[in-house]
Chains A and B, each alone.
Chain A
Amino acid sequence: DAGVTQSPTHLIKTRGQHVTLRCSPISGHKSVSWYQQVLGQGPQFIFQYYEKEERGRGNFPDRFSARQFPNYSSELNVNALLLGDSALYLCASSLDNTEAFFGQGTRLTVV
């Protein structure tokens, strides 16, 4: 079975641009969560979606938004990119209140 897949794997953006990151959960998983991991630190929780509804939001500015589609895939959008948004963005999927399965992440570099 395919695990959590994220696309793209790497991308480079310029300050002020916007970016869309995509995540496909494991088949049957209805919960998708997004995390930001800055180099040298642990992942920081951004959003959780379950059945297309937002279940939780971390301490991130409104420039960050997300949504979940009927097939449970998800997008993370970041507007007005800053240099500090450079990080590894991780997506995780799970059945309700079970272990989380993480993707390999999208490495975003803002220049």
Chain B
Amino acid sequence: DAKTTQPNSMESNEEEPVHLPCNHSTISGTDYIHWYRQLPSQGPEYVIHGLTSNVNNRMASLAIAEDRKSSTLILHRATLRDAAVYYCILTTDSWGKLQFGAGTQVVVTP
């Protein structure tokens, strides 16, 4: 599977938007882009996924670059509960084989 690159950490103030970048320059045409997050002392939690088009759900938005070599997860109004490690993952054949990297630690300040 292609690799992803994310910043180690990001800080945000509560109720402000958070833009989490992910670079995946070696992405293949069949790779889906997934985002999971892991709150302290919990298992990872699905956030969103996409292939080519931008996606929105109740948790976040996913903006995918036209060349698909990068994407951005957008948390529209950060809350303290959004403080977590966010993982950007590419998968092709099976979504049950997730290759996690180190992720981005998001810190939300009141």
- Taking Cβ atoms with an 8 Å cutoff, the residues of A that contact B are 4, 31-33, 35, 41-45, 48, 50, 55-56, 58, 90, 92, 94, 97-105
Contact = CB atoms under 8 A, between A and B. Distances in A.
Contacts, number: 64
Given A41-B102, A42-B102, A42-B103, A33 B97 contact: yes
Contacts of B94: 48, 55-56, 97
B96 A100 contact: yes
Contact of A102 (B44, B49, B102): B44
Interface residues of B, number: 20
15 contacts: A33-B96, A33-B98, A43-B44, A45-B97, A50-B96, A56-B97, A58-B97, A92-B44, A94-B96, A97-B94, A97-B95, A98-B95, A99-B34, A102-B43, A102-B45
Contacts of B101: 42
A100 B99 CA distance: 13
